[in-house]
Chain A
Amino acid sequence: MDSIVPLRIQIVSIFGSVLFLAVIGRLILKGKLREEYAIVWIFATAVLLLLSIWRNGLEVLAAVLGVYYAPSLLFLVALFAVTAFLVHLSVVASTLQRQNKILAQELALLRDEMQKMNNTR
């Protein structure tokens, strides 16, 4: 089976994936990205890299799954992955908001205690 992926785009996509991986790695090293989120991105980049190197990969997978137009499989998977990650982020945001509320309330209580202690001194 001849590859439908031209060499030029293969080079570009490999380069793009490696660059993305480098950015993620840098963010982790600088402490700007927590490892648990980085795992998702590293995994996604690894899949992209794999498909960039393995030129027929997408075609083979599409054929196995019975998808007629191979790129649509890529869109489907990518869209699903992005949606799933967004849901995950919403959960994280909800947790943070709840914790933030408790922190703010505790802070108000502590300020009150501190003021009382200052007043009795």
Chain B
Amino acid sequence: MEPHKRTVAVVIPAFNEEKAIRSVVEDVISSVHAQGVDAHIIVINDGSSDNTAMAVGSLPCTLLNLPFNLGIGAAVQLGFRYAQKLGCNTAVQVDGDGQHPAREIGRLLEPVLNDSADVVIGSRFLVKGGSRSTLVRRVGIRYFNALVGLLIGRRVTDSTSGFRALNRRALEVCAWEYPDQYPEPEAIISFAKRKLRVAEVSVRMNDRQSGRSSINTFAGFVYMIKVSLAVCIAVLRTHQEG
């Protein structure tokens, strides 16, 4: 099972997801198999204090254990770096809480595989239906869509979605530099700055199976200010290429 350029790395970050992670990985395995995608699944246990690592246990995937909690961005970045090490030219990010539908991986990958986009974001707001989160969150997401859209000069409908597919160029960008926390809106800016083609496809997301969101209501306000600042800094920063 030597991975090569056609192999897609599926990066799954998990922090205290002992209840959901096993079914998420199993779901991804059966889905990619059904869709004929040659995938290497990489689960990143981001310093969980529960039995996330045990839950993944014997499944046919790579499990990377971080020694302590770094934040989802740093966990995902590790997955991307590992994907690069494997020699994968394409990666998909799927959250470990079961919100992202594995059955849509094929559709997410399509624009990347036929080279019509460098980055594909699974958006729950392109069409109606499915889990669309709570009202407060939708307002927050709309705000980020507007901010990111304004800064990159084109419409984005789900800037906070972490359900994404990346080609080799986008993978390089993320493996080189990726924000530790709340990375999604900021990453879109750095894609746009490097002239990568960002596309969105409509997906229906599930309700989370268990665990808590990395963003609770109490921290929501801090989150919005922090990400707004980070996004603006990302625009201003003259990037150091690696």
Contacts and interface: CB of A to CB of B under 8 A. Distances in A.
A112 B217 CA distance: 36
B52 interface: no
Contact of A107 (B67, B81, B180): B67
Contacts of B65: 108, 111
B81 A104 contact: no
Interface residues of B, number: 16
Interface in B64-94: 64-68, 70, 74, 77-78, 81-82, 85
B81 A105 contact: yes
Nearest to B82: A109
A101 B70 contact: yes
Interface in A76-113: 101, 104-105, 107-109, 111-112
Given A101-B70, A101-B180, A108 B62 contact: no
A111 B44 CA distance: 13
A59 B135 CA distance: 63
Contacts of A108: 44, 64-67, 78
B69 to A, nearest CB: 9
A109 B64 contact: yes
A67 B66 CA distance: 56
Nearest to A103: B67
Contacts of B66: 104-105, 107-108
A105 B74 CA distance: 8
Interface of B: 44, 62-68, 70, 74, 77-78, 81-82, 85, 180
